[in-house]
Amino acid sequence: MQTRRQFVVRGTKLVAIGAAAAAAGPTILVRDARADGQLRILQWSHFVPAYDKWFDPWAKEWGAKRGVNVTVDHVGFADVVPRATAEVAAQSGHDVHMFLGLASAFEEHVIDLKDAVATLEKKYGKEVDLAHRSTYNPFTRKQFALSDMWVPDPGNYHKEVWSKIGMENGPSTYDDLVKAAPEIKKVAPQMQIPIGVGLSQDIDSNMAVRNILWCHGGSIQDKDGNVVLNSPETLRALEYTKKLYSVGMTQAVLSWNAASNNQAFNAQETAYILNSISAYRTAQDNKLPVLANYFFTPALKGPTGIQLASEHVMSGYVVWKFSKSQDLAKEFLVALVDASRDSMLASKLYNFPSFYGAAAEPNTPLNKKQESGAAWIAAQCNKDPFGSTPPDKLALLAKSLPWSTNLGYPGFANPAEGEIFDTYVLTDMFAKASTGALSPKDAMAEASTRAKQIFDKWRQKKMVPGGGKDK
Amino acid sequence: MVGELTWSRRLVGLWLPLTLLFVFALFPFAWMAATSLKANAELYDPKANPLWIRNPSLVHYIDLFKETNFVTWIGNTMLVATVSTVISLALGVMLAYPLARMRFPAAGLLAIAVAVTYLVPQTLLFVPMADLINRMKLGDTLTAVMLTYPTLLVPFCAWLLIGYFKTVPKELEEAALIDGASRWRAMTRVILPLCTPGFLSAGIFAFTLAQNEFLYALLFLNTSTIRTVPVGVTGELIRGDAFYWGQLMAAAFLGSLPVVLIYSFFVKYYVAGLTAGSVKG
């Protein structure tokens, strides 16, 4: 008879053999991802699938010329930050990680890319200011990320509906939205949400509420990094949004995700959204009925006369400190900026180069490169190669730089601004004030306290300036 | 004794609630299937009934198979779920059998420890897990998830099987031992065959959990061809702020079919496994 010890030993052996066989089999079947001399890149699945089809082989080819195996992995845009958090916690993963908004929250975990940016500036001149302000921390003097592209965030409006209420060119001020909303309900009752500005915990809402705040004269921080959210300007922005919510929105906007405004506009359930051209390209690709009435406006003006919109996407490539291919990663990022023209075309004009000079005609002198690049960009927008009707429908995008700004305006992006963005402090404030969950004053006080706590945390780490003039 | 139900009582007491429950349970699947069969123009038409298809189209299914690695994802998912389930059941039996049928010090404490292990959230476990996977150089391989899923599944399977093993009379095993069978033989020839419903219910649950797992798959699987369905679908069909709803729903619909089939075929055993011990004094 078998003893209990024999039974346990025999059983354990069997399980161990089974587990080892099961584990080893698939390892043999899948590719070996552990070879030396490789560069691993993680980025979002680009809104335009054709972009990924251009980028992935391009990156591989770039590596092949150097005898390096480049692998590109894609995640959904909502998984970009969680994935970064996980890789930092594990201190392993990819070499290069692309962020869509602020990479600043990860500043302490990434290497300084100052030399890569300096190389690019020598080749192409300065990058656009909002890219510089999104990727450089003047307090720590660290170039924590490198931006190859940014995406403008115009207003998208339904021309037929706005024409019916006497505004055929769409709104031009925030006040127009409040005036138009009841009129739109009358002429287009099928539009359940006349003004489709999200107030939820999603990336588009995060941008939209900042636009409203800035155009009313408010901001989270001043240019020196002091927290100034608690201000009459913020209060005015909250009271404005509360009014807009009551006349032009429904509770649906409180639970919108990043795709909701696209879908609402394409389904002709709203007459105005703040978005890049992604919804428009979707309408084009699927020949949706909304297409004939799909038009764009620049950023809206606030009562202060300020006309600003946040970038819709700001690429921020970082190289992790734990990467063993840091120099290679820098070389790759420089090459990516070199390919700015291809990048813009592969993305169907979604990506705008952060270094305008990289889109210049060949052999242009350095001091003329930015101008030449801007002219090439304008030429694409003025005659959309991807079939807009009229062909200059996207022309205003070429002039979007003056009214586009960075997260963190009027200061630079910093880890505190990044954390406030990632934890939706502003969208919560606007939603609470708009729905009456809190009075505008209380919502502002609550958000201001949260913002100060976040800033204080990062100031203790000596990564964020200011503090002496917090309000 | 239950009396004869009249027609009206049967309607109100049985068929009406059953119909409501049926509609409630199947509504998400019906919407999912309907969405997957509509062309985008119809999907974006606010006047269209979400559950009614005007012009059925297989375009999303075709795109799903042509434009993505969906077939590979399905294959990976089945492989990962099957291997994880087999490992988990084998280890679960090894854990559950002595805890349920042998007497040794701290058996009760061990049984509680098994349950406590199951309660540790994945969001805490992933950090050391990622470190281990990287040390073993298994990142971006299916082996990574095949080895990590059992950490979630073994405690669950063991806990379910402990309950089931306890329902089998000890006399059966003792009789086998008296007749000269070894402990191993008694377990494999006498006890385990009687516990088939328990294995099936634990196996089905484990398989479903492994098939739907997201966090570890997101962390450990990068390359498109090595992904499982949940990560592949969300990674490649949610592009920026554009959701490819038709393909997403087609993928979700097809992805749910294996589990539907498994549940359908084994429902009898599955229910028996779940209710084991409920009538034992």
Using a CB–CB cutoff of 8 Å, tell me whether A17 touches chain B.
no
The CA distance from A218 to A236, in Å, is: 9
Instruction: Check B141 against A83: CB less than 8 A apart.
Output: no
* Cα distance between residue A139 and residue A142, in whole Å: 8
Q: Which residues 396-425 of A are in CB contact (within 8 Å) with B? A: none
CB A464 within 8 A of CB A416: yes
What is the CATH superfamily name and number for domain B68-274? MetI-like (1.10.3720.10)
* pLDDT, position A434: 97
A168 and A214 housed in the same domain: yes
Q: Establish if A283 belongs to a structural domain.
A: yes
Mean pLDDT, to the nearest integer, of B244-250? 93
CA distance to A132, A292, A361, per residue, from A408 (Å): 12, 36, 33
pLDDT the model gives residue B274: 62
In a shared domain, residues A277 and A240 = yes
CA distances from A355 to A49, A233, B152 (A): 23, 34, 48
| End position of a domain, from candidates A353, A387, A421 | A387
Q: Is A93 in Cβ contact with B142 (below 8 Å)?
A: no
Kindly determine whether residue B240 and residue A47, on different chains, have CB atoms separated by under 8 Å: yes
- Going A113 to A118 to A120 to A125, the CA torsion angle's sign is positive
* 253-282 of A, contacting B, C-beta below 8 A: 258-259, 261-263, 266-269, 275-276, 278-279, 282
- Check whether residue A233 and residue A305 sit in a common domain: yes
Higher pLDDT, A125 or B187: A125
**Domain count for chain A:** 3
Same domain, A255 and A141: no
- CA-nearest residue to B239 within chain A is A47
Residue A266 shares a structural domain with residue A162:
yes
pLDDT (tens place) for every residue of chain A, 471 residues total: 456 556 555 655 555 555 554 444 444 344 444 445 899 999 999 988 889 999 999 999 999 999 999 999 998 888 898 889 888 988 888 999 999 877 888 999 999 999 999 999 999 999 999 999 999 999 999 999 999 999 999 999 999 999 999 999 999 999 999 999 999 999 999 898 999 999 999 989 999 999 999 999 999 999 999 999 999 999 999 999 999 999 999 999 999 998 999 999 999 999 999 999 999 999 998 899 999 999 999 999 999 999 999 999 999 999 999 999 999 999 999 999 999 999 999 999 999 999 999 999 999 999 999 999 999 999 999 999 999 999 999 999 999 999 999 999 999 999 999 999 989 999 999 999 999 999 999 999 999 999 999 999 999 999 999 888 888
Provide long-range contacts, Cβ within 8 A and 24+ apart, for B127-133: B127/A86, B127/A89, B127/A90, B129/B216, B130/A86, B130/A89, B130/A90, B130/A92, B130/B219, B130/B220, B131/A90, B131/A91, B131/A92, B133/B220
A415 and A305 fall within a common domain? yes
ipTM of predicted complex: 0.74
Phi and psi at residue B54, to the nearest 5°? -80, -50
Spatial separation of the C-alpha atoms in residues A418 and A410, rounded to whole Å: 14
| pLDDT recorded at residue A2 | 55
CB contact under 8 A, A78 and B238: yes
Q: Is residue A468 part of a domain?
A: no
Taking an 8 Å cut-off on Cβ atoms, the answer to whether B242 and A45 are in contact is no
Examine the domain organization and report whether A376 and A299 are in the same domain: no
Specify the CATH number for the domain of residue A87. Answer: 3.40.190.10
**In this complex, do B147 and A23 lie within 8 Å of one another by their Cβ atoms?**
yes
Quick check: is A5 in a domain?
A: yes
A88 and A42 in a common domain? yes
Q: Does the beta-carbon distance from B241 to A31 stay under 8 Å?
A: no
CB of A5 within 8 Å of a chain B CB? The answer is: no
pTM for this model (two decimals): 0.83
Q: Does A229 share its domain with A121?
A: no
Chain centroid to Cα A409, Å, comes to: 15
Q: Does A453 reach chain B within 8 Å, measured CB to CB?
A: no
A283 and A411 in one domain?
yes
Which three-class secondary structure string do you get for A353-405? ECCHHHHCCCCCCHHHHHHHHHHHHHHHHHCCCCCCCCCCCCHHHHHCHHHEE
Task: Round the CA-based radius of gyration of chain A to a whole number and report it.
Answer: 25
Contact assessment for residue A287 and residue A57, using Cβ atoms and an 8 Å cutoff = no
Domain enclosing residue A25, as ranges: 1-30
Cβ A290 vs Cβ A156: under 8 Å: no
